[in-house]
Amino acid sequence: MKKLMLLAAMVAFGFTAKAQGSDDGGNALSEGSWVIEANTGSWTTGSTAFSLTSQDGITMWSIGGEAGYFIMDDLAIKVGLGYGDNGGDGAGSSAFNYKVGAKYYIDGQFPVGVDFTGSSVKDFDENPSYVGIQGGYAWFVAPNVSIEPTLRYNLSMNDDFYESAFQGLIGFAFHF
């Protein structure tokens, strides 16, 4: 417990020191910055987003998030995790989802990204995976908060079992 408290104090000190030392003219998309994202989306494509769907008495949902580190101005390397449930009878009804990729902000307000998304579905012999490409607009409602409507295409890596999909998403990003 003491180690956990020490780690929390060090993280808090690090964020405070970064905030106090950010008078260098940097912005939310500067090298060394972090981004935390929550998106709305579909549970069907190995999602790391929030979704809720109910049809014919079956409720399907997903929850997840993404984080990224800016390795240079406007370019972040990102990872994401998610969990979903398709409301089935228990056989193959839950999935653990993961994502790794990159996101680049053109002119600081047009995010484009590419990533690999995969799922580990309970009791499935074959799991879905996708290569995703996306583009959108970053509306900064505050210096460190953006709302990002995005269009995304998920190219299935296994068309025998899973289809490619086109999505419209709304993302919420917090920049540190």
pLDDT in tens, 11-32: 444 443 444 444 444 688 999 9
Q: pLDDT tens for residues 30-53?
A: 999 999 999 987 666 667 888 888
Tally the domains of the chain: 1
R_g (Cα) of the chain, nearest Å: 18
Asked whether the CA dihedral 67, 70, 71, 74 is positive or negative, the reply is positive
| CATH assignment of the domain containing 136 | 2.40.160.20
Residue 13 lies in a domain: no
Q: pLDDT tens for residues 53-102?
A: 888 888 888 899 999 999 999 999 999 999 988 776 555 478 899 999 99
Residue 37 lies in a domain: yes
Q: What is the mean pLDDT of residues 169-175?
A: 94
Residue 25 lies in a domain: no
Residue 7 lies in a domain: no
Whether 144 and 174 have beta carbons less than 8 Å apart is answered as yes
Q: What is the pLDDT of residue 71?
A: 97
Domain that holds residue 121: 32-175
Residues with Cβ < 8 Å from 141, sequence gap 6 or more?
147
Residue 81 lies in a domain: yes
Q: pLDDT tens for residues 114-145?
A: 999 988 887 777 888 899 999 999 999 999 99
Residue 84 lies in a domain: yes
Residue 6 lies in a domain: no
